Amino acid sequence: MKIAVYGAGYVGLVTAACLAKMGHDVISADINPERIALLLQGECPIYEAMLPALLIEQCELGRLSFTTNLQDTIHDAQIHMIATGTPCLANGQADLSQVFAVAQCIAENIKQDGFVVIKSTVPVGTGDRIENIFSEIFNARKERFEVAVVSNPEFLREGNAVHDFLYADRIILGGEPDALLCLEQIYQPLTAEGIPVIKMQRRSAELTKYAANAMLASRISFMNQISWISTKVDADIEEVRKGLSADKRIGPAFLHAGIGYGGSCFPKDIQALMHTSKALDIDVTLLEAIDHINMRQKNWVAEQLMTHFKGALKDKRIGILGLAFKPGTDDMREASSLVVIERLLEMGSELFLYDPVAIPAAKTMFTEKSEKMSWCASIDEVLTHRLDALVIATEWPEFKNYPLALIRQSLEDAPLIDGRNCFDLEAVKAAKLSSYYSVGRIPLREVI
Ligand code: UDX
């Protein structure tokens, strides 16, 4: 069966490339001609480990192709995977216009029976709405095909997406049992390796996706809440985390305190889940708390600097290491660094910024404020600017591995504000940093 994947964004491209890797005949379709032109030239439009080589490999093997021609794609395929974006509207609701536009286009052009597989993160009940679109358009066309609508949410982390697809913890399929039996075959190369398929009702599958992201976000906000207590009572959140992680009921994942979560999923999915809950008159206290703690935590860096400099941040020269919302990506969406930068610019600081890959993406977000911002090509360059303070906003390995002795030498008496707890406190003491602030651990000051 031929598989069409609509949307060549990060979910769509990873899905298309991995399905091809599994031996399927896949076409990736997108309405953006520049994006498809890049892909046809063998270039990958997004920063994602392993993806560029996989795209080239699968194109060369003839299993993967790209197109802007939706009509021909729809005619040829039996499996239609929708992987378009569902951004957040101002009221928190997920914007489903791209998903519905693709569904409508499929319904208008389809010429044979098939499956519609929803990969995009969509609110519960979206599958039903897509079924209605098909029904209405088939009525207008006065012809009808058997089209089963299935939910197959993705759980791909940016930076690890290819790995997360091919070595998934589980594959969730939601829909009518007969349709799921057929779709299960697509994933046979993965299930043969022991990856379980969990079949369920379509609405349950749609909700599972939101619940997974909300659960992970809640763990992060919970640890950030505990970090506030930890600092006040002179405990160490990293020790607390290790103690919690060893409990098999809790496990180690997503327990790192820091300056909050960002990215294209957690913030928007929490908003969308709140929106859905409110519309159903369901109490949203927990979801609101997750979001509130996260927003508050993004101000942590500015608060430490305000305390250290007693509010006088005007003209302070501050280095910022890390801009992307997490390591391994150039994605700046909802990055905590954006809040750090905004707050420090508001207070008149001068910023020297470095990120291994996200500077081009970051530059596009600050075109009007650039006179107070200097973009640097390396950590070393940031450190040459006689800084009044250095901030770590993303825990890239090259920051964690940078010798603390060199940081100490450049900073002299200036503080290091570590928003991602990159360093061990003993190592910081040994390097004799003048002041070191980290999340959920008491500040080390004048250790010398
Ligand atoms: C997430 C989900 O993990 C993935 O399954 C879903 O499909 C898309 O959303 P992603 O947005 O790529 O993936 O990022 P993830 O690795 O989950 O991290 C999200 C945010 O949480 C980052 O800002 C990260 O810095 C933060 N985080 C993560 C913490 O602050 N502490 C942790 O312990 C883990």
- 157 C-alpha to ligand 1 centroid (Å): 7
Residue of minimum CA distance from atom 24 in ligand 1:
261
Q: Which atom of ligand 1 is nearest to the CA of 336?
A: 23
**Pick from 275, 255, 226: which is nearest to 89 by CA?**
275
- 188 C-alpha to ligand 1 centroid (Å): 28
**Pick from 359, 366, 368, 344: which is nearest to 417 by CA?**
344
- 437 C-alpha to ligand 1 centroid (Å): 23
> How far apart, in whole angstroms, are the C-alpha atoms of residue 72 and residue 38?
20
Query: Alpha carbon of 63 to those of 40, 60, 66, 275: distances in Å?
Result: 14, 8, 11, 40
* Residue of 268, 326, 339 best suited for mutating to test ligand 1, as the one with most atoms within 8 Å of CB: 326
Question: What are the per-10-residue average pLDDT scores of the chain (448 residues)?
Answer: 96 98 98 97 94 97 98 97 94 94 98 97 96 98 96 96 98 97 95 98 98 98 98 97 98 98 95 95 98 98 97 97 96 97 96 97 84 96 98 98 97 97 96 96 76
- 7 C-alpha to ligand 1 centroid (Å): 22
What are 206's two structure tokens? 């749609």
Q: Which atom of ligand 1 is nearest to the CA of 265?
A: 9
Residue of minimum CA distance from atom 1 in ligand 1:
157
| 3-state secondary structure at position 194 | coil
Element (H, E) at 151: strand 147-151
Residue of minimum CA distance from atom 25 in ligand 1:
326
Q: Which atom of ligand 1 is nearest to the CA of 261?
A: 23
- 255 C-alpha to ligand 1 centroid (Å): 11
* Beta strand extents in 274-414 (DSSP E only): 317-321, 350-354, 373-375, 389-392
Residue 265 falls in the annotated catalytic set = yes
Q: Which residues contact 306 (CB under 8 A, 6 or more apart)?
A: 313, 347
- The pLDDT of residue 448 is 40
- The pLDDT of residue 369 is 66
Q: Which atom of ligand 1 is nearest to the CA of 157?
A: 12
**Pick from 141, 432, 441, 417: which is nearest to 303 by CA?**
417
Amino acid (1-letter code) at residue 161 = A
- 266 C-alpha to ligand 1 centroid (Å): 7
Which of 18, 59, 88, 265 is catalytic? The answer is 265
Q: Which atom of ligand 1 is nearest to the CA of 329?
A: 12
CB 122 within 8 Å of CB 88: no
How many Cβ atoms from other residues are within 10 Å of residue 274's Cβ?
A: 20
- The pLDDT of residue 41 is 96
Residues contacting ligand 1 via CB (< 6 Å): 154-158, 213, 216, 220, 254-256, 258, 261-263, 265-266, 325-326
Write b or e for each residue in 321-337: b if 16 or more Cβ atoms lie within 10 A of its Cβ, otherwise e: bbbbbbbbbbbbbbbbb
- The pLDDT of residue 445 is 85
* Residue of 167, 220, 227 best suited for mutating to test ligand 1, as the one with most atoms within 8 Å of CB: 220
| 3-state secondary structure at position 393 | coil
Amino acid (1-letter code) at residue 213 = N
Residue of minimum CA distance from atom 16 in ligand 1:
157
- The pLDDT of residue 268 is 94
- 395 C-alpha to ligand 1 centroid (Å): 13
Residue of minimum CA distance from atom 27 in ligand 1:
261
Q: Which atom of ligand 1 is nearest to the CA of 263?
A: 11
| 3-state secondary structure at position 435 | strand
